[in-house]
Structure 1
């Protein structure tokens, strides 16, 4: 393991090597993860390269993050030039196809949408990728992410250097040394999708000269490519740049409707993405993020939970709340005899008040909340089931949700025959009502949690998690007050994993167990937040270990591993909690569940 530090980034291990230098997994100054491309010294010493580097990096930083790995930082220190991008956990497309074979059906179509969305963001910033190829498409748990946009320009624009790149995915005008533009990337898009769907380059193999000759003069070989994308790929691979569709038309045709925004297209992909197909090697265990002043580390932290500290400040994981400090819920005798809260009700427990214990299960659709930050019995297991809301084809998400109501059979609490993804309009069994802790209510197509001072409130989705791993997502806005909110997963009578963000933009992953203090597995750490935030969480793993990841507005902001009595699949939902002395009101615009793959 390297201990080299560049620009404040501690390099941990090499992720890959290329003609321009090496890419390293690195720890950021705040304890997060990033990918750092260290440029070869022979290039970094060249004054012309330095000028191009500054120009191209400035342009790349303008690229929106939709289906891309955004550029976070860059600099030149002596003979070392470096470029920092978001770390994307997942294999590249070339490796996935090599290891598992071609993509087809919904996965291939989602890949096509994702890469086209990335090109839309790249071109919107005035940047041309110039080197789109399978190894520059990473398959993250949320969908494809395009990397290295504009980087090819850094090594110059002479034809020989371009040809020495990846001839199989270069457009005819690029091979001839002519002017390139967005249409050049559209040609590469066609080649990449053809490769993904067939497992081979549309212009075959051989020497660079042989391949480029076929690129310029011969028709692409597309036999075996799915009919759903073949027509668009043929158009994208037209020899004449003027005959190729612009990226906006690619997206409109793929999504089956009028032109849509990159944000909507990105969400459409993320809700239905079921790759990566190949699990990459686990990154090294990095030191935990430095604890904030609101959540000091403790020597009692679990050594097998990365960055784990006892949860001494509930809202401190997202902003600080002394009133909720360090008081686990007492379990009492009120429910010892098996008292159950009726369907649609809520069980609440204040600090020191009796709480549900043992057979005191809350029927499906109910909710248990506890004050003073204590973990508690999960109101998301057992009880009667209602019909779930099924998943729609991925291309329908942008034009509006097409709900498919599916019948479900229950056997031992396991749902059978449910369609994925599950996307909620909050009208299909989400609990509404008021209690001492606060209220849960419908608000148009949204769902509002209003929580009183000193309480923590969470609600279960009316759909059990799929077997294996799960990806949970919600879009929410803090409307009034101050506090934290987010999603949770792997909930049951034993506890849950919470993923929270505060109004101040601090993120944390917390494990809560019945009758115990919460344990912070990550954070609290500052992250780039917005007025309305999209929180995405992944809970996956097996063999005695659960991997937890959190994205905020499509950026990976937190990662942790729990190997000490990890929680298993159960229920998922949303949560909110105020800061001390305040109340909080959070509106959730959307909620989705889907299986995690990889």
Structure 2
């Protein structure tokens, strides 16, 4: 017991575990709930360089969407103690479960593979590399696997590529990690293959002796895996990082192209053997293929800050009590549930968007990120953007196929920035068509992707503005191109087409950007969306 010890407002109840960086405690939150609190060793927390890394890596972890992870609730430094607060996930880790109950097989192994691939897709979509994916970093919650500790391994190293390259657990390291080469998301795909091989066979694919040499020079031992999943694992374990599939490609290979929200739903249904009692929003398979856009969690809008900083909330849960049952507890009532493409394809039928969509903003993302803040302002929604940054928020909806028309009423209340709406977007890749008007009345249509300058398709052209401005934008599907139209205060001010790898239906929302030297503040009084073809 920890008595009345309180860190950052969280009352520590009992020790859950110790590791190289510190201790993990079960704690009571200020509102009476439970959370996992990771306390960093004071010797580390007193180091100014560590503090800088801690702030940077926590910010990176917060950008990760919560698909098959769990959210970070809080973080800070209390005296000499740095702490990270995450959702508490009750369940064993994968290493413990395999040790006590034996290897997974059939639908359980496939659901595990999909769940971890889904988590990696979300992690990589936020620009984060896990670097230390292993069985003990996969928790088996009642609703499916949860990947933890993504990106946090960097905290114990320095900032150089060489030091980062050697971080990781030997049996699950990629060849480029072993050789000290610069890392890419492909290292996590390799680790995924090793983890699934371990889960399905109960043994390490490269053994526990001389594992580093075997990883670099020998082929893995995969006998015992079912043929179909064995082929996917073998591709993930390719020595050449360029030959490995991306995490999104893994997901597509496993469930026929299903995107993250749908994949999460499939994992939960397969894991528990049940269908959710209430409809949940999901997304149809991506029309863009490969690295498809990230769908929006039900009832929640997504916050993204640029340059290159999508600010969603990730997870770092910890394992709960040990499980001693000999049967896998997530197969409810002994039901045998087989994960298949048909199951994935059926998921979107659980929920359908009704049109037109009109926002009350109550379910939109609020909070502060490095680029600024979003808050509810009475019945409206306000974005405050720091100098040189751009914030964009996605509404909790899936765009209709065949094109969409979105509209918003907005007022630039401070600064000289730009504001407007966007459509055909993705909060993970940053793909979107952005329709903007500046404080001086100039309008633009820009094809954007997070971390890039974007490509201007129209403008800037002076169209005049009022306060507030009513901005209406259309992303219309027409064969192999997208037709983009923009109205400002009921007047058509821009029209252009994009036939160069055009974006397809996904998400829509609002955006605001500041100038280089002064902040901007924009208030949105309304947001609506409807199919471009009516409905």
User: Structure 1 length as normaliser, TM-score?
Assistant: 0.47
Q: Deviations over 1:454-483 (max 9, x none)?
A: xxxxxxxxxxxxxxxxxxxxxxx9999x9x
Q: Deviations over 1:477-525 (max 9, x none)?
A: 9999x9xxxxxxxxxxxxxxxxxxxxxxxxxxxxxxxxxxxxxxxxxxx
Alpha-carbon distance in structure 2 between the residues aligned to 1:401 and 1:78: 48
Q: 1:401–1:58: structure 2 CA closer, same or farther, 3 Å change rule?
A: closer
Matches within 5 A, 1:94-493: 94-157=95-158, 163=166, 165-206=168-209, 210-255=210-255, 257=256, 259-274=257-272, 280-281=320-321, 393-395=338-340, 396-400=342-346
1:20 Cα deviation from its structure 2 partner: 0.5
Q: Contact 2:173 / 2:187 at 8 angstroms: preserved in 1?
A: yes
1:280 Cα deviation from its structure 2 partner: 4.9
Alpha-carbon distance in structure 2 between the residues aligned to 1:478 and 1:107: 40
Q: Deviations over 1:228-257 (max 9, x none)?
A: 3100110100110000001111111100x2
1:76 Cα deviation from its structure 2 partner: 1.2
Q: Deviations over 1:386-409 (max 9, x none)?
A: xxxx9974332321269xxxxxxx
List alignment gaps of at least 5 residues for structure 2.
Answer: 274-318, 324-334, 363-394, 398-535
Q: Deviations over 1:200-255 (max 9, x none)?
A: 1101012xxx2111111111111111223100110100110000001111111100
Alpha-carbon distance in structure 1 between the residues aligned to 2:237 and 2:31: 44
Q: 1:40–1:445: structure 2 CA closer, same or farther, 3 Å change rule?
A: closer
Q: Deviations over 1:7-46 (max 9, x none)?
A: 1111111111110111111111111111111011111111
What is the aligned partner in structure 1 of residue 66 from structure 2?
A: 65
Partner of 1:253, secondary structure, is helix
Q: Deviations over 1:419-459 (max 9, x none)?
A: xxxxx97xxxxxxxxxxxxxxxxxx9799xxxxxxxxxxxx
Q: 1:478–1:197: structure 2 CA closer, same or farther, 3 Å change rule?
A: farther
1:272 Cα deviation from its structure 2 partner: 1.1
Alpha-carbon distance in structure 2 between the residues aligned to 1:19 and 1:161: 16
Q: Per chain length, whose mean CA-contact separation is higher, i.e. which structure has more relative contact order (CA < 8 Å, sep 6+)?
A: 2
List alignment gaps of at least 5 residues for structure 1.
Answer: 284-389, 403-423, 426-443, 448-476, 483-529, 533-598
Q: Deviations over 1:330-381 (max 9, x none)?
A: xxxxxxxxxxxxxxxxxxxxxxxxxxxxxxxxxxxxxxxxxxxxxxxxxxxx
Pairs aligned (count) = 303
1:103 Cα deviation from its structure 2 partner: 0.2
- Rg: which structure is higher? 1
Q: 1:144–1:179: structure 2 CA closer, same or farther, 3 Å change rule?
A: same
The reply to whether residue 93 of structure 1 matches residue 91 of structure 2 is no
Alpha-carbon distance in structure 1 between the residues aligned to 2:337 and 2:104: 20
Alpha-carbon distance in structure 1 between the residues aligned to 2:69 and 2:347: 25
Q: 1:56–1:4: structure 2 CA closer, same or farther, 3 Å change rule?
A: same
Q: Contact 1:109 / 1:228 at 8 angstroms: preserved in 2?
A: no
Alpha-carbon distance in structure 2 between the residues aligned to 1:401 and 1:79: 48
What is the aligned partner in structure 2 of residue 78 from structure 1?
A: 79
Q: Contact 1:392 / 1:401 at 8 angstroms: preserved in 2?
A: no
Runs of 4+ aligned structure 1 residues displaced above 4 Å come to 157-165, 444-447, 477-480
The reply to whether residue 8 of structure 1 matches residue 9 of structure 2 is yes
Q: 1:222–1:392: structure 2 CA closer, same or farther, 3 Å change rule?
A: closer
Q: Contact 1:478 / 1:531 at 8 angstroms: preserved in 2?
A: no
Alpha-carbon distance in structure 2 between the residues aligned to 1:478 and 1:30: 32
Q: 1:162–1:42: structure 2 CA closer, same or farther, 3 Å change rule?
A: farther
Alpha-carbon distance in structure 1 between the residues aligned to 2:52 and 2:265: 37
Q: 1:81–1:137: structure 2 CA closer, same or farther, 3 Å change rule?
A: same
Range moving further from structure 2, 104-113 or 12-21:
12-21
1:91 Cα deviation from its structure 2 partner: 0.3
What is the aligned partner in structure 2 of residue 457 from structure 1?
A: none
